[in-house]
Structure 1
Amino acid sequence: MSARVAATGSWTADDGARLPAGEVHAWEPGQNQTLCGVPLHRAGLRRFAGVAFTDVDPATGGSADAVREVCPRCLAATGASRRGRHPRWQRTDPRP
């Protein structure tokens, strides 16, 4: 999936690149809404066609330095996981 980023804010890096900030959503170029169904214009979201949605994990830094929150519904829609945030349930002592 080639999801890009739509965010509530932006910031400028040292090299002059405009990067997402605030709350980020996954967005498919050519669509007027995010993958979770939020309309871009009504929500006041800015599009970042040059930033892949996989690059905005706040734990990784880089393009995500100013990202506060990633939409969980967009994460689910892209099939990404929240690594380390919610450990999967696992039975430790199964019954025989």
Structure 2
Amino acid sequence: MVKVAASGTYDAGEGSRLPAGEVHAWEPGQNQTACGVPLRRAGLGRFPHVDFSDTDPVTGGSADAVRWVCPKCVAATTPRRQRTGRRWERTDPRP
């Protein structure tokens, strides 16, 4: 249930607004992003109707005007297994 906080707003027509500019992960009920940036002081707008996974420029979705996705927020919201790809394994143990 991770939503989006962004530095700008993009009007997609039909009265819908989408995140633009700098994008961070945000959980409703919190007043800071997943990486610790305070929403009010940074001037970030909340988008409770947009999932954070939809703001990836590669996948499309709500990412038409997204310029930068916070790498710390991506790391905080991605499960550890998906980040590493495979588990660490010692290939040549010492005696």
Q: Please state which band the TM-score falls in when normalised by the shorter chain.
A: 0.7 to 0.9
* RMSD, aligned α-carbons: 2.2
Q: Secondary structure at the match of 1:19?
A: strand
Deviation above 6 Å: which 4+ runs of structure 1?
A: none
Q: State the distance in 1 between where 2:79 and 2:22 align.
A: 17
1:77 and 2:76 matched? yes
Q: State the distance in 1 between where 2:61 and 2:44 align.
A: 20
Q: State the distance in 2 between where 1:72 and 1:15 align.
A: 31
Length-normalised TM-score, structure 1? 0.80
Q: Which runs of 5+ in 1 are unaligned?
A: 82-87, 89-93
* Cα distance per residue 1:62-85 (max 9 Å; x no partner): 31000001000000000169xxxx
> Quick one: which amino acid aligns to residue 37 of structure 1?
G
* Cα distance per residue 1:20-53 (max 9 Å; x no partner): 0001000000000000000000000000000000
> Quick one: which amino acid aligns to residue 56 of structure 2?
D
Aligned residues between the structures = 86
Length-normalised TM-score, structure 2? 0.81
Q: Which runs of 5+ in 2 are unaligned?
A: 86-90
Equivalent residue, structure 1, for 2:88: none
